[in-house]
Amino acid sequence: MAKAATTNRGGLDNPHLFVNAAKVESATMTHMRHLLRSFVALGAFALLAASLTAQGRTGAIDIAARITPTGAARPEPVRQFAFFVLTKSYADIIKEVEGQDVLPTLEQFIDKLTCSLELKTWLKAHHVVDLTSPDLDQLLTADDIMKVPEFFAAYERSNSGGVTLGLPKPKYREADKTANPEKYQKQKEEFLAETKKFMETHPSTVQGIELELSGVNPKLAWDQLQVAHQRKVVQLTPDTAQVKYLAGKAETDLDGHALIPGLPAGNYWVSTLGMDAASGDRHLIWDVPVTVLAGQTTHVELSNLNATDVRRAVAQ
């Protein structure tokens, strides 16, 4: 007797099971794709909203730079020139850099000179560093010349060679300094007294003394110190400005315009970092304060009126 055939609907040979499973999987994948698209859309919207919010919190500076040379009928645009937006004025940054390389005071400088103590004392008292100034003789008294070895030696050289009639001559000899010190000292004091009296009665003999003081003149060393300091400040200030205080920068187009966007609201300075823009006889630098408001563009007109002409400033 033959047995009836049985069908195992839960087995691997059941085609309905695969169809149902495929349908479920397809529905699941479709749902996940919809969710993924939703997440991507939400993310993009969030980024756009954040971007719009950030833009709403920042502003921009629109620069128009022009120079009017002397005698020109109209201003010329400052073309292809870099402008920098700083969070601190360039003038104050210069002071900051100068403070990091402090120059010695005049008294400190004089203390390091290789000259007599008497000359150092005189220089400090008169605040003088140029001993070759033509009006030096107006500052010198007979006592000054007698007390300061460098002045006395210069006076003697200036009046030597028989150019000054009646000038006292020393009678003491260097050999007597050890052989007969009393005689040496007496004759030296007499010579100095006579020389001082002659100087007081013949003040014209002091004129020209500055020509004999070039060898001990400290002005050259003082000037070199100042120049080295200024050179260092000029070199370091632009770097300091860009490293510590730069908020943005842009180069002007052929019409002299430049736009610097994305600036948080606040106070800034539009600067050329000490570099001058030239047109004709004008060489201008700018360090102009600007206030940026959120969501707004601040227009800045740079011209002769709010600039410094570096050549004229040096001449003054």
**Domain 59-87+245-315 architecture:** Sandwich (2.60)
For the chain, how many residues are written? 316
Contact 49, 56 (CB under 8 A): no
Residue 239, pLDDT above cutoff 70: yes
Residue 276's pLDDT is what?
97
- With a CB cutoff of 8 Å and minimum separation 6, the contacts of 205 are 155, 158, 159, 164, 167, 198, 199
| H/E element, 26 | helix 15-57
Coil, strand or helix at 222? helix
Reported as a pLDDT band with limits 50, 70 and 90, residue 52 is very low
Reported as a pLDDT band with limits 50, 70 and 90, residue 214 is very high
Beta strand 257-264 with 82-86: parallel, antiparallel or unpaired?
unpaired
Contact 101, 232 (CB under 8 A): yes
**Distance from C-alpha of 199 to C-alpha of 211, rounded to nearest angstrom:** 18
Q: Where are the domains of the chain?
A: 14-44, 59-87+245-315, 114-216
- With a CB cutoff of 8 Å and minimum separation 6, the contacts of 232 are 101
Q: What is the mean pLDDT of the chain?
A: 87
Q: Say how many C-beta atoms besides its own lie within 10 A of residue 118's C-beta.
A: 15
- With a CB cutoff of 8 Å and minimum separation 6, the contacts of 267 are 87, 289, 290, 291, 292
Percent of the chain scoring above 70 in pLDDT: 81
CA angle 77, 263, 83 (to 5 degrees): 30
Residue 43, pLDDT above cutoff 70: no
Of the candidates 171, 175, 166, 176, the residue with the CA atom closest to the CA atom of residue 190:
171
**Stretch among 17-26, 129-138, 271-280, 286-295 having the lowest mean pLDDT:** 17-26
Distance, CA of 262 to chain centre: 27
Residue 162's pLDDT is what?
75
Of the candidates 77, 87, 94, the residue with the CA atom closest to the CA atom of residue 249:
87
Contact 254, 88 (CB under 8 A): no
Is the pTM higher than 0.85? The answer reads: no
Residues 160-188 have pLDDT tens digits of 887 788 899 988 888 888 889 999 999 99
| H/E element, 314 | helix 310-315
Of the candidates 246, 296, 243, the residue with the CA atom closest to the CA atom of residue 271:
246
